[in-house]
Each structure stands twice: as structure tokens, then as C-alpha cells.
């Protein structure tokens, strides 16, 4: 009886592996010597895209919470809110940022506040040459 159950378990697990798509095991540690280009030699994989800072505006206000900075920005007469990883900005700074991802009706637990629309930017930089 044990032999039959063991064989049945092997058949079922073999069938499961044969029908499920192959997924790579998660990497738990970085390789000892990483190549200069980590994507070199990986067929079908493109190198990461550079973030384009295509938008700009003037900081009206900012609020820091752990790990995030919320920034109110004026773009001409238009005002928008954006959120990004902690970034040092102050009122009056001119900043550049990417298009990121916009969310509507976003509730911030940290601020206990709802934003009708907020842009989650991947990168924000203070434009030192502009005022």
C-alpha cells in the first residue's frame, strides 16, 4: 500500500511540474562577482530604462512622512500633488520629476487625508539653476 501511495505522489507531482509554467527561484543573495552589466547575456531581457524627468514645477508646500515626501507643485496655473521617496525640498524650489503613476481618490493613512488626484513619481530632483 505504501508503494502505491508513493508512486501516486510521484505521478501527481510530475504532472503538476509538467503543466505549470517554469518560474525562477527567488535570489536570496547577490552573486559573489556580479558582471559590470547585470543584464548582459540575458536573452529577451532589456536593460532598465532611464527615468526621464519630463515634468517640472514650483514647490508650493511639502509634507514629510516616514519614507515619503508629499509635494504640492504649481505648473503654471495648474496645481498638483505628487508623492515620492523622501526628498529634501522647500517652498519656492523648482523641481523636475517623471510622469510616474497617477492615482485618483487616494487616501494617505500617514496623513489621514484623501487626495482627489496624486502622482507617484519615481524620481524628483531640485533644479539648482532655476528659481
3-state helix, strand, coil in the chain (%, to 5): 15, 40, 50
Domain ranges of the chain: 55-126
- What per-residue confidence (pLDDT) applies to 62? 97
H-assigned helices in 39-111: none
For the whole prediction, is pTM greater than 0.85? no
Dist CA 102 CA 73 (whole Å): 14
Which regions in the chain score pLDDT beneath 50? Answer: 7-8, 11-20, 23, 28-31, 34-35, 38
Domain 55-126 annotated CATH 3.40.50.300: no
- Neighbouring C-beta atoms of residue 110, cutoff 10 Å: 13
Digit-coded pLDDT (tens) for 10-38: 544 444 444 445 545 555 444 455 445 54
Amino acid at each position: 500500500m505504501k508503494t502505491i501511495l508513493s508512486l501516486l505522489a510521484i505521478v501527481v507531482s510530475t504532472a503538476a511540474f509538467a503543466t505549470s509554467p517554469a518560474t525562477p527561484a527567488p535570489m536570496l543573495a547577490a552573486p559573489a562577482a556580479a558582471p559590470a552589466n547585470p543584464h548582459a547575456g540575458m536573452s529577451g531581457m532589456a536593460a532598465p530604462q532611464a527615468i526621464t524627468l519630463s515634468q517640472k514645477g514650483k514647490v508650493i508646500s511639502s509634507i514629510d512622512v516616514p519614507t515619503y515626501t508629499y509635494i504640492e507643485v504649481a505648473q503654471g496655473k495648474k496645481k498638483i500633488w505628487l508623492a515620492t521617496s523622501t526628498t529634501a525640498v522647500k517652498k519656492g524650489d523648482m523641481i523636475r520629476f517623471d510622469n510616474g503613476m497617477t492615482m485618483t481618490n487616494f487616501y494617505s493613512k500617514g496623513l489621514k487625508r484623501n487626495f482627489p488626484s496624486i502622482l507617484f513619481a519615481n524620481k524628483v530632483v531640485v533644479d539648482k539653476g532655476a528659481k
